[in-house]
Amino acid sequence: MTTITASSAGPVIFGEVLFDCFPDRRVLGGAPFNVAWNLHGLGGNPLFVGAVGDDRPGADVRRIMAAWGMDDSGLQTDPAHPTGTVQVSLEGGEPSYEIVADQAYDHVDRQAALTAIAGREDAILYHGSLALRDTGSRETLAALRDTVRGGVFMDVNLRAPWWDRDTVRELVANSAWVKLNQDELDALGDGDMRSPQDGARALLSRYGLRAVILTRGSEGALVAASDGLVISQPAPPVDGLVDTVGAGDAFSAVVLLGIMEGWGWETILERAARFAAQVCTLRGATTEDRSFYAEQSRAW
């Protein structure tokens, strides 16, 4: 069994927090925020670094974080830009999304972020790609990457049209662990992979990563590690499926927790897949039900 070691400090989670605005409701989310929320529920002690506007939605984010017991010292208030939103419209029951541009999370201040992470320099830094579409937050992430020593976990999470191949490849090259799905692997690869395992190994080798974690939907997930280990994990059955929103974020949270705790990769994949399946029984990506997280942790 491969064992992974990392800092015992809680991870720094950088990126977007936003509201998905449906015709009849709004739902708090953003992939990095969902990861931080789940980690907090599982006892992972994350510090979320992002930004909201000086507006009612921004105040709501802080209120909800406080009620959940999350540390909001890394959450900045930007008086010049609004709290992030995604406009969700439904046509024939099928959702379509408009990720609104120029939001507070695009302008996370560098110095304030560095101040917030003081004392967590040995932590793992987690980030995605959406919050890096603007130079402001890109420069802040670069400063955080230069500061933390626990390694970088990149959750690729491509969101059209807010990414370009060269930029994402550069970010991958400067990461330790990379998690992505099959479509993202196809987009970033060179088109010469004969199997998902080959594709993951090729990405691992090309960029000198510690591990590539590939999610494959109903076909499960696999990891290719730097010691040559390749492990596949089938997707567990979901008893009482509600929706799959946030399943990938749930999976990422447990992978990150497993790296922090030094679990083996076999254990990480099995627990991450099981937790993601349980999140599919919720309406939405997360829950405020503490017993949900306690039940998952007890099973470990």
Residue 240 burial by Cβ neighbours in a 10 Å radius (0-12, 13-18, 19+): exposed
Q: 288 vs 38, 40, 182, 284, CA distance in Å?
A: 10, 11, 31, 11
Q: Which of 19-28, 68-77, 261-270 has the lowest mean pLDDT?
A: 19-28
Q: What angle do CA 90, 94, 97 make, to 5 degrees?
A: 60
Q: Average the pLDDT over 203-225 and give the result.
A: 96
Q: What is the pLDDT of residue 93?
A: 57
Q: Percentage of the chain with pLDDT > 90?
A: 78
In a domain, 250, yes or no: yes
In a domain, 17, yes or no: yes
| Residue range 220-258, pLDDT digits in tens | 999 999 999 999 999 888 888 887 778 899 999 999 999
In a domain, 5, yes or no: no
Q: What is the pLDDT of residue 95?
A: 64
Q: What is the pLDDT of residue 244?
A: 77
Q: Average the pLDDT over 126-144 and give the result.
A: 98
pLDDT at 200 over 90: yes
SS3 category, 293:
helix
pLDDT at 1 over 60: no
In contact, 279 and 247? CB cutoff 8 Å: yes
CA end-to-end distance (rounded Å), the chain: 17
Q: Average the pLDDT over 153-179 and give the result.
A: 95
Strand ranges in 92-124 using DSSP code E only, listed in sequence order: 94-99
* Angstrom distance (rounded) from CA 139 to CA 206: 25
Q: Please give the model's pTM, rounded to 2 decimal places.
A: 0.93
* Angstrom distance (rounded) from CA 52 to CA 79: 9
Given pLDDT bands bounded at 50, 70 and 90, which one contains residue 4?
A: very low
Q: What is the pLDDT of residue 2?
A: 39
Burial 259-269 (b: 16+ CB within 10 A, else e): bbbebebebbb
Higher pLDDT, 106 or 160: 106
In a domain, 215, yes or no: yes
In a domain, 6, yes or no: no
Structure token pair of residue 12: 């720094």
In a domain, 158, yes or no: yes
In contact, 178 and 214? CB cutoff 8 Å: no
Higher pLDDT, 203 or 246: 203
| Residue range 46-80, pLDDT digits in tens | 999 999 999 999 999 999 999 999 999 999 999 99
**Domain count for the chain:** 1
Q: What is the pLDDT of residue 253?
A: 98
Amino acid at 295: E
Q: Average the pLDDT over 193-212 and give the result.
A: 94
Structural domain containing residue 200: 12-298
| Residue range 83-105, pLDDT digits in tens | 999 988 867 656 678 999 999 99
Q: What is the pLDDT of residue 8?
A: 54
Look over the chain and give the mean of its residue pLDDT values, rounded to a whole number: 92
- What CATH number has the domain bearing residue 245? 3.40.1190.20
**Which residues have C-beta within 8 Å of that of residue 269, sequence separation ≥ 6?**
213, 221, 222, 223, 231, 233, 255
In a domain, 2, yes or no: no
In a domain, 113, yes or no: yes
Structure token pair of residue 135: 């130079």
